[in-house]
Amino acid sequence: MLKLNIQNETSRLRAVILGTAKSNGPVPKVEDCYDPKSKLHVLAGTYPKEEDMFLEMEAVATVFKKYEVQVYRPNIIENYNQIFSRDIAFVIEDTLIRANILPDRELEYKAIQEVVNQINPAKVVVLPEECHIEGGDVMPWNEYIFIGTYSGADYADFITARTNLAAVKEIQKLFPDKKVKSFELRKSNTNAKENALHLDCCFQPIGKDKAIIHKNGFLNQNEYNWLVAYFGEQNVFEITKEEMYNMNSNVFSISENVIVSEKNFTRLNGWLRNNGFIVEEVPYAEIAKQEGLLRCSTMPLVRD
């Protein structure tokens, strides 16, 4: 049996599902893109090639091996994008919650069934149908669960709005002892620089008491202010619009002092090192073209 344990974003990682870029399929049609950034690269003819993305993901697998992390991979579905394992399910405490994702992505969950079968069935939860949620919006942080959401009346118009208030309420019911705090995110179907697809596209806690954040990703100034006050201004690394677009907040913690980051994140990686972190740099710029990075393509199962 696989005993799940996730209390926060940064405790020592022991087991993780890492997506795969194998048999990733052809370049999508513009109308089939789920986010404005992929659309942009399809139109520009710069959409990432499978072989490049495959090498990027294997670089991450190598880092996990170095730190003796148990790595699970999805079963390969021919010609299908299975990179972003964070979208399809997520773990809080000892419970795996299946995400209610875009219906086209149902197969991705089936591809991790062998892992799910190792978990006590009583600890696998499927939320009611009206609850929309994806793992990129959900961050357990000790006594808190931070959740990115969008509650505008035009929710249905945004393919980039992935988590609704019904899901936030349901998570609060499932974890009554936690403080569930939601944050309204800025959404755009057309402008990737004005779109926070998930909470981890504009914010992520790191270490014991630090965070990476992008102010404009938050619709509500007070919610952004709350986060800065909670972590303390001196502990917050503010990223620019361009850095958010390149996914600087979407790094991944192996432990409180080891962070996997993209090698081109010069400013961030320098700040991390100056603050005592060990930074494991990997190439991930091709995968970033799909508006997802390291956190999006990993689903932690066990942390100490």
Residues above pLDDT 90, as percent of the chain: 74
Multiple choice CATH, 13-303, 3.75.10.10, 2.40.128.110, 3.40.50.1980, 3.40.50.300: 3.75.10.10
CA within 13 Å, CB half, 5: 9
User: Alpha helices of the chain — where are they, by DSSP H?
Assistant: 36-44, 50-66, 106-110, 113-116, 165-174, 221-231, 241-245, 266-274
pLDDT of 175 > 90? The answer is: yes
Measured between alpha carbons, how far is 136 from 199 in angstroms, rounded to an integer? 6
Cross-strand pairs, 292:
none
DSSP, collapsed to helix, strand or coil, labels residue 222 as helix
Measured between alpha carbons, how far is 218 from 224 in angstroms, rounded to an integer? 6
DSSP letter at 218?
B
Residues 6 or more apart whose CB falls under 8 angstroms from that of 143 comprise 178, 179
Q: Which two tokens mark 57?
A: 């993901």
Measured between alpha carbons, how far is 128 from 284 in angstroms, rounded to an integer? 35
CA angle 272, 278, 284 (to 5 degrees): 80
Q: Model pTM?
A: 0.93
CA within 13 Å, CB half, 203: 27
Map out the domains of the chain as residue ranges: 13-303
Question: In this predicted model, what pLDDT tens digit does every residue of 129-141 receive, in sequence order?
Answer: 899 899 999 999 9
Question: In this predicted model, what pLDDT tens digit does every residue of 261-291 receive, in sequence order?
Answer: 999 999 999 999 999 999 999 999 999 888 7
Measured between alpha carbons, how far is 19 from 263 in angstroms, rounded to an integer? 20
